[in-house]
Structure 1
């Protein structure tokens, strides 16, 4: 028995999230039969972070165990021949049996890509968020200063969240404008269900002048999801990095590679 780690890239628009469902329209439901076709046996996978319907990934890490003896290229090129167009394996690496895609991770990094112009994008439909009115990025940047640290994020937690605790260590919260694009970057030890989309919703509300930057600190203190803005669209959200201890020697450590498209950027 060997344990293999894989990295996946996928467009979430064509899937109803990561986790397997009876209807079979998830990333896991696409990946496991493709792996089984190469392994010649059933394969069960574990991912670093379960993404929701419509959420994308440029760096989703997965592990699985198999008795099949295959070259690493088979787990990349071979598996890719059995995958739909919206998902692809980018690398594979054999790891020790104590590696775990979820529990060995030190942190996850997400990027939200928001198009901020009067017209939505037709070419990037489903792959970027959109807000029609001009947003004050300086105000959103000031609000982000209140977010890093160990906090109770109940105000930004979905009602159906199954996490045992709402406390998370948010290490990075950044926002920057690049022309008509606004990029939000977040890194934490782990995230609550809808946490990033709820944070983006609050920051956008601040950016359009609905509240001052300090309001985000008030929301944290009140710990009441009902007082925060609605959950923002999943379209622009990317799982963009998973960081592991150096001893695993995995590729793509610490890199943000989502998205690979920003029209107008050189």
Structure 2
């Protein structure tokens, strides 16, 4: 009798070509599949909640897999971490119902985009923040962020390449805060389009630079055209913080594409 195991996974995405297996380079999914297959002695193919893009990090991505192993579910993480490289670590392993799929279960997903805003770069921050020397107006960024909260058609904030049926999404919270030299854009929602969080971040950065007004964000939403939004911010500043599964299965959604 097989069982379904859920993994909560943290990784530094710097050296990976994203989550999803592909031919042009090593990926997080590939590393976990190989390590799990070796540990359990059976071919394992995990199913992930979020297909993070190349260079994007995670503190709490989620994946599931089916197995016939007799190893206790909670012990799988210990054996797996001994086989994984040091930039990927399973934070928790647990058994879940066989019908549970992290990509289609109703959930709130939270990302943070971090900006290092100071005169000169800080080497130890270079892999996890986007450096901007020009002073950013955080208050203006906060005002702009407010226009994005709620249910909207986010077509202007999606790169070509998304395969979802609709570009309507719901952002449940979007905050912009500064602590020291670090500005954090924290966004939560029920699902995201391809590169949506990074395009939102790039747009808010332009507001902070004074290239756009906070009010212009409303117009960008209404245009439903990618050309009117800001640039796609670099991937290194983005981290998937975690996924909170609501358990409300009558609201099954597509969690969206790469971000």
- TM-score bracket relative to the smaller structure: over 0.9
More helix by share: 2
Q: Which residue does 1:8 correspond to in 2?
A: 9
Counterparts of residues 142-153 of structure 1 (less than 5 Å): 142-153=143-154
Structure 2 unaligned residues grouped into runs of 5+: 250-259
CA distance in structure 2 between the partners assigned to 1:247 and 1:212 by the alignment: 38
> Distance between the aligned counterparts of 1:72 and 1:173, measured in 2?
35
> Deviation per CA, 1:99-155, whole angstroms, max 9, x where unpaired?
111112412110111110121221122211111111000000011111111111111
1:236 has 2:198 as partner: no
State whether structure 2 residue 112 is matched by structure 1 residue 108. no
Q: Distance in 2 between matches of 1:246 and 1:151?
A: 23
Give 1:61's aligned residue: 62
Deviation (angstroms), 1:58: 0.1
Q: Find the counterpart in structure 2 of residue 119 from structure 1.
A: 120
Question: What SS does structure 2 have at the residue aligned with 1:169?
Answer: strand
1:173, CA displacement in angstroms? 1.0
Kept after mapping to 2: 8 A contact 1:48/1:105: no
Unaligned runs of 5+ in 1: 249-266
The 5 Å alignment of 1:82-231 reads 82-231=83-232
Secondary structure of the residue that 1:81 maps to in structure 2?
A: helix
Are 1:38 and 1:74, in contact at CA under 8 Å, matched by a contact in 2? no
**Relative contact order (C-alpha < 8 Å, sep 6+): which is higher?**
2
Distance 1:68 1:184, change over 3 A: same
Aligned to 2:255: none
TM-score between the two structures when normalised by the length of structure 2: 0.92
**RMSD of the TM alignment (CA)?**
1.4
C-alpha contact (below 8 Å) 1:105/1:242 kept by paired residues = no
Query: Taking structure 1 as the reference length, what is the TM-score of the superposition?
Result: 0.90
Task: Tell me, in whole angstroms, the C-alpha distance in 2 between the residues paired with 1:247 and 1:78.
Answer: 32
- Structure 1 stretches of at least 4 aligned residues deviating more than 4 Å after TM superposition: none
